[in-house]
A and B are shown apart, each in its own frame.
Chain A
Amino acid sequence: MNWEILGIWLGAAVTLCLYSFLYRDNPFYKFVEHLFVGMSAGYWVIYSIYNVLIPNWWENLFPADGGFDAIWLVPGIFAMFMLARMVPKVAGLSRLALGMIVGTGAGLNMVTFFQSNALAQVKGTMISVAAGSVWEVFSSLVLVVGVVSGLVYFFFSKAHTGFVGRTANMGITILMVAFGASFGYTIMARLSLLIGRCTFLIEDWLPTIPAMLGLGG
């Protein structure tokens, strides 16, 4: 049996079953949907064991050169605490493990996130609007006016009337342009996936049909 061709046919069958939903909901779609969920769950369990637990924990607990490193029991115990959620009597233990995860994440991100996503962005907005070519000046003006009017739109301590109202309207217009750009990119992303599947069906699957039907080729 040619396993490569079998794989291609399986891929094609699953793809067509999924796309059949575009016509209407049907048992083929349901079957593949459930197949995907089940396979994903199984795949991740095995993947986590062999690529996360064993190399990062088990092999440290029992090093290759023999012995036993007891300190690695600590993360093991905390990992067990996570599973404690399934036993109501000791469910509270999971909070210890979650607390450690949240604490580490917050501590790590507190300064860096603020630096990268707030301070650096504010700094990037503080630019001269009178430097460079005509296009650069226009671009800088759009940036500054866009940021200020966008912020005014989210300023609710003053009624959006008069000058504030007009600025807020400009802000919502800028936001709509941003949403439009984002929507356009989303369409491009989704079409790219469709193109990927169609290319697979046309260039990989279709040429195997004559061979499967015994027509040569």
Chain B
Amino acid sequence: MANFFQKIGDLDRRVIFLLIALAVIIPITTDLIIPNIVGAEPSRDMFDYVDALPEGSNVIVSFDYDPSTMPELQPMAEAVVRHLFEKNHKVIGTALWPQGAALGQHAMSTLADSLGKEQYVDWVNLGYKTGGAVMIVRMGTSIKAVFPADRDNVPWEDIPMLEGINSLKDIQLVISLSAGDPGIIAWVMMAGDRYGIPIGGGCTAVSAPQLYTYLQTDQMVGLLGGLKGAADYETLVGIEEGPAVKGMSPQSIAHLVIMMFIIIGNISYFSRRKGGAR
């Protein structure tokens, strides 16, 4: 047995790649759905905060990501926008990343069509603006100065839902869906801490541990971390078998395979040490 574990330590890495691939492909092809249980997590905090906002609140959703992180952040965007539409909030889309504007447009326009929401009355996409944190600071005094027109070049004055909105003080919540910098941290620092605007967010799993610190200090009202966060929000919103919930099944199986390899790797390491090998 010890010999077996010593040999398995020399396993070709391509075998591991193959097993991980199978762990992902088989649940997708068999439509395996592992129930997603949402506990008292930051994703529930964010859902509850959005749920408790007064109807018709002005909410900025900043699409601060690009296609490379779509598998994690696009399901989040769709679930969050759906929730906002269902609660009859006014959704103002912005983007600190250039390609985020197009991804946001896709999420908002698709959901608006299915939920009967009207562009410029219920939602608007102001598009991308360069500058990151500097842009957010400027929005603190005038959003119109930063976005004189929306993504389709419709002037600010011609957009009915923006009437009465001047600066960030007129915004009840900012939700940044962020793949890095600029993103959630810029919104927390500039809009949250400087202007006192509540900040919620969704991020890639890689950046989640860094952002948890802002939850502890109440600098954020909630956080969706990676695919699990997206799956939580889909579950809370009531989306059945959404892309994130479906994605969590291969995720869970692949995690089991990785854990198995970590255990086998450790047994192999210690059995080699016991056998005198280095």
Is B a genuine binding partner of A?
yes
Chain A residues contacting B228 (CB-CB under 8 Å) are 188
Q: Are B209 and A182 in contact (CB under 8 A)?
A: yes
Q: Are A189 and B204 in contact (CB under 8 A)?
A: yes
> Complex: how many Å from CA A182 to CA B207?
8
Contact flags A183-197 to B (C-beta < 8 A → 1, else 0): 001111101111111
> Complex: how many Å from CA A124 to CA B219?
10
Chain B residues contacting A202 (CB-CB under 8 Å) are 25, 28-29
> At the interface, yes or no: A23 with Cβ under 8 Å from chain B?
yes
> Complex: how many Å from CA A109 to CA B185?
12
Min CB–CB distance A132 → chain B (angstroms): 14
> At the interface, yes or no: B128 with Cβ under 8 Å from chain A?
yes
> Complex: how many Å from CA A112 to CA B209?
21
Closest to A111 in B: B194
Identify A112's interface contact among B190, B205, B246, CB under 8 A: B190
Closest to B27 in A: A195
Q: Are A195 and B227 in contact (CB under 8 A)?
A: yes
Stretch at the interface among A66-74, A115-123, A163-171: A115-123
Q: With A51-B98, A52-B130 known to touch, is A195 a contact of B193 (CB < 8 Å)?
A: no
Min CB–CB distance A200 → chain B (angstroms): 9
How many residues from B make CB contacts under 8 Å with A? 48
Residues from 89 to 146 in A contacting B, C-beta threshold 8 Å: 104, 108-109, 112-113, 115-117, 120-121, 123-124, 143
Min CB–CB distance A156 → chain B (angstroms): 24
Chain B residues contacting A212 (CB-CB under 8 Å) are none
Q: Are A188 and B128 in contact (CB under 8 A)?
A: no
Q: Are A112 and B25 in contact (CB under 8 A)?
A: no
Residues from 216 to 230 in B contacting A, C-beta threshold 8 Å: 216-219, 225-228
Q: With A47-B98, A185-B209 known to touch, is A191 a contact of B194 (CB < 8 Å)?
A: no
> Complex: how many Å from CA A65 to CA B218?
47
How many residues from A make CB contacts under 8 Å with B? 38
Q: With A56-B130, A202-B25 known to touch, is A192 a contact of B71 (CB < 8 Å)?
A: yes
Q: Are A198 and B28 in contact (CB under 8 A)?
A: yes
Chain B residues contacting A115 (CB-CB under 8 Å) are 189, 193
> At the interface, yes or no: A45 with Cβ under 8 Å from chain B?
no
> At the interface, yes or no: B3 with Cβ under 8 Å from chain A?
no
17 additional A-B residue pairs with CB within 8 Å, beyond A22-B14, A116-B193: A47-B98, A51-B98, A104-B134, A108-B134, A109-B133, A120-B193, A121-B213, A124-B216, A124-B217, A143-B216, A185-B226, A186-B205, A188-B255, A193-B68, A194-B21, A198-B250, A203-B28
> At the interface, yes or no: B59 with Cβ under 8 Å from chain A?
no
> Complex: how many Å from CA A115 to CA B29?
49
> Complex: how many Å from CA A104 to CA B134?
9
> At the interface, yes or no: A41 with Cβ under 8 Å from chain B?
no
> At the interface, yes or no: B17 with Cβ under 8 Å from chain A?
yes
> At the interface, yes or no: B175 with Cβ under 8 Å from chain A?
no
> Complex: how many Å from CA A197 to CA B69?
11
Residues from 225 to 277 in B contacting A, C-beta threshold 8 Å: 225-228, 243, 246-247, 250-251, 254-255, 258
Min CB–CB distance B77 → chain A (angstroms): 14
Closest to B190 in A: A112
> At the interface, yes or no: A83 with Cβ under 8 Å from chain B?
no
Chain B residues contacting A196 (CB-CB under 8 Å) are 70-72, 247
Identify A185's interface contact among B29, B193, B206, CB under 8 A: B206
> At the interface, yes or no: B208 with Cβ under 8 Å from chain A?
yes
Q: Are B251 and A195 in contact (CB under 8 A)?
A: yes
Q: Are A195 and B250 in contact (CB under 8 A)?
A: yes
> Complex: how many Å from CA A126 to CA B65?
34
Q: Are A188 and B193 in contact (CB under 8 A)?
A: no
Q: Are A189 and B258 in contact (CB under 8 A)?
A: no
> At the interface, yes or no: B137 with Cβ under 8 Å from chain A?
yes
